[in-house]
Structure 1
């Protein structure tokens, strides 16, 4: 069922509605508009004081509604239902097509229907072909993942991990689905690893909705997680953030390993993907000891060496100045 229109949208549609039905009975109009006669009278009284800048007698909408009938004498330019402008329709269509290109977070047929309706309303020259079947770009596992998230059910996954070049079977408790940079990700609690994990839709080989509820730890599900915005195969560093440096996690889209509220005075662990050891070393150096590298899954010794060398060089420069 479509939601009821707001009063503002109803008022905008009323002038062209009554213009096309001059002399209509208020009782009939109220029934067609889905409002009471008392509400219709209030709406007409509101329209009577609306109009063009100047707000004088010749600028205001002129609607007569005496004796139970409605007639429009002056529309103030609102003589037809509002339509999307060309620019507005183009922006909306681009956004819808970006959603359609995303890997399975939303139902593709619903998006294609919305695109067709916008193009038809905007008078687009080319219609979208509607297919009630499965979109070729929609991964077979996508519908099962969406169903599990909506129904709050556990999922059995066969998942490909490119870093290990291996496929694993696991049971997860879905938390939510997010779309980032045209890719869809499942945010879920992995029962096998006993930790929060991000699963890319296009790497899920199989997904089966289980007949048991999704039950991720409440303290985990309550904490937003920064979704990856680049290649998930990049190396990951585990960092310890001082309380006054937790903002680094959000700014650099690191994934919080624990809830900052659990121990407000202690460091917070976060995992950060990085492109090069040099970049990670510069980030840590710039934070003046408030961010520390706990471990990395690649070239850990090189990162620590770069940080140590930079610190030694900085101390040396201070010594030379003194």
Structure 2
């Protein structure tokens, strides 16, 4: 059975093991109320109850199986077959919860931090020795940098930052008006109004080389809207350049890593694929294609083809140049 098929079965088993103690604590509860409490449909709950009827102790005869009584739309467990305790966490599950809660507690800009810390304290108390497991949770970027960013957002202060923009392979200095801190795909970002670009921008915390909190308040324009990052940081739109490249078998991984508009085989008998995707600018696309090496060929637009050809030619010329004797 595939992993996808195993997951629903595992979920149902956990639900069934918790269902008996839940019903024991609420004799005569309405099916609709129980379904709402457990987060399932009434149909699913009734199917679970029908399955419980044939579960129980070895022997599987009268007095061995779980039994219940129905009174209209109300249900009461009349025999629990010994399953009278809620499902307990395994050591791995408890440790996973501790790590997840520690991650949430470290997340910049996370609301309800007190509630997270209270839940973490309870889980750590229940986990016992596991709470002291040698597991450290840290967000990308230095703690000092994140603390400064968090403080600027909370105090509503503008920041002067030195930022490395990977797409353009350049470092710039700019003043930003922070709006919020957020985590996307495991990385910390500050979302801010960039006075240099005159637009809302996301700045990766680990690419901020230096930052200084200014005395002036952060003042993003009233029309500055936060990005929708539910599908990730990069949201390709029709306003961005569309590039097409041809990749061999060794370069097909890009179709799983980057959002592509079109992927098609380059002929019936070819191992190459033709891939079209949106990019922030052609300079990034040039470095991207060159980085793929012999597994990629630029197809369009013509400017990208020319950029890649010129850069590759310059590199080959540099290799062909004789090395000075005194080098």
Report the TM-score, using the length of structure 2 for normalisation.
0.50
Instruction: Give a deviation string over 1:28-80, Cα, whole Å, max 9, x none.
Output: x559x7679xx7x96995465241599953563123457999453242x5220
Residue 289 of structure 1 pairs with residue 298 of structure 2: yes
Residue 118 of structure 1 pairs with residue 123 of structure 2: yes
Query: In the aligned structure 1, how far is the partner of 2:77 from the partner of 2:312?
Result: 78
- Residue equivalent to 2:97: 92
Query: In the aligned structure 2, how far is the partner of 1:110 from the partner of 1:72?
Result: 37
Choose the corresponding residue for 2:244, options 237, 242, 245. 242
Instruction: Give a deviation string over 1:105-158, Cα, whole Å, max 9, x none.
Output: 534544433322322343456589xxxxxxx866253276599xxxxxxx8741
Q: Is the CA contact (8 Å cut-off) linking 2:152 and 2:178 kept in structure 1?
A: no
Residue 158 of structure 1 pairs with residue 163 of structure 2: no
State the shift of 1:11 in Å.
5.8
State the shift of 1:289 in Å.
2.9
Alpha-carbon distance change, 160 to 210 in structure 1, aligned in 2, over 3 angstroms: closer
Query: In the aligned structure 2, how far is the partner of 1:209 from the partner of 1:99?
Result: 28
- Residue equivalent to 2:39: none
State the shift of 1:84 in Å.
1.2
Choose the corresponding residue for 1:185, options 189, 205, 210. 189
> Aligned ranges for residues 1-322 of structure 1 at < 5 Å?
12-17=17-22, 19=24, 26=28, 29-30=29-30, 46=50, 49-52=53-56, 56-57=60-61, 60-64=65-69, 70=76, 72-75=78-81, 77-102=82-107, 104-107=108-111, 108-124=113-129, 126=131, 139-142=147-150, 145=153, 157-161=158-162, 168-171=174-177, 177-179=182-184, 183-186=187-190, 190=194, 192-194=196-198, 197-201=201-205, 203=208, 205-206=212-213, 208=218, 210=220, 212-215=222-225, 224-226=232-234, 241-242=243-244, 268=279, 269=281, 272=284, 281-290=290-299, 292=304, 305-306=314-315
Query: In the aligned structure 2, how far is the partner of 1:252 from the partner of 1:43?
Result: 40
Alpha-carbon distance change, 266 to 283 in structure 1, aligned in 2, over 3 angstroms: closer
Query: In the aligned structure 2, how far is the partner of 1:222 from the partner of 1:99?
Result: 17
5+ long unaligned stretches in structure 1: 1-5, 129-135, 148-154, 228-238, 313-322
Report the TM-score, using the length of structure 1 for normalisation.
0.51
Instruction: Give a deviation string over 1:190-212, Cα, whole Å, max 9, x none.
Output: 45315674313474544836572
Q: Is the CA contact (8 Å cut-off) linking 2:21 and 2:83 kept in structure 1?
A: yes
Query: In the aligned structure 2, how far is the partner of 1:250 from the partner of 1:101?
Result: 32
Across the two proteins, how many residue pairs are aligned to each other? 254
RMSD: 5.8
Alpha-carbon distance change, 9 to 309 in structure 1, aligned in 2, over 3 angstroms: same
